[in-house]
Amino acid sequence: MILTADIGNTNITLGIFEGDDIVFVSRLATQRHRTSEQYAIELNAVFELEGINKTGFEGAIISSVVPELTRVFKNAIEKVTGCDALVVAAGIKTGLKINTDNPKEVGADLVAGAVGAVTQYPLPCLVMDLGTATKISVIDENGVFAGCTIAPGIGISLDALSMRTSQLPTIELTAPEHAIGTNTIECIRSGTVLGNAAMLDGMASRLERELGTTIKSLVATGGLAKEIVACCEKDIIFNKDLILQGLLTIYRKNR
């Protein structure tokens, strides 16, 4: 088994692969002040709950956008599985050429998502990651990471709306029946869900024009993607495990 871990600003997503098949996915809360021992206890509890043999791991790999937790979680994995986890960082083999002003600035999650897309979908491709931030990566016809866009994530926007207004409530993120809302909750759902869907559609068209060639694949991932993608007018593939699949590919390139 190979353990993959994507450390994001809100959640740490874990995936276990047997061969090419992902057999287990779980999420832990990202808590920056936790120690490796605390995360090891949580990992151990998750594995025991699911009946996973902790001695059955061949290796592990981590992508992280929370630098203060990278070493902490790497140590936790070693305590529980005995594996010295790879970390997606400068110097690791990814097979991905990055054509940006400073390739070192590109987040490990964006790299893993791009690798996952390049190995599975026709190019050029847009990778839409809807998490704490909404990110759209552009992969050209040669598999080169050409750049990306970053916007505040849906959860952040909703939290800000609720905190900075006196009369607007916190809502569940579900699609409204109509774009023209007739009550407060439906109005917020329209603006949030349909508004973000329209943003993805519009940005896809704009990025395609700027790239100067037809985009062959639109792929979405991230914890908030499923509801939004269902409301898009463009044909967008939802792949909740894209980053974990990319991590598996990177692991194999380095082992």
Please identify every residue annotated as catalytic.
109
Residues 61 and 13: their CA atoms lie apart, in Å, by 12
- CA 179-180-182 angle, 5° bins: 130
Q: What residues have CB less than 8 Å from 139, skipping those under 6 apart?
A: 114, 117, 118, 123, 124, 125, 126, 127, 145, 146
In the beta sheet, which residues pair with residue 17? Answer: 2, 22
Judge contact between 13 and 25, C-beta under 8 A. yes
The phi and psi torsions of 88 (rounded to 5 degrees) equal: -70, 110
In the beta sheet, which residues pair with residue 212? Answer: none
Q: How many residues does the chain have?
A: 255
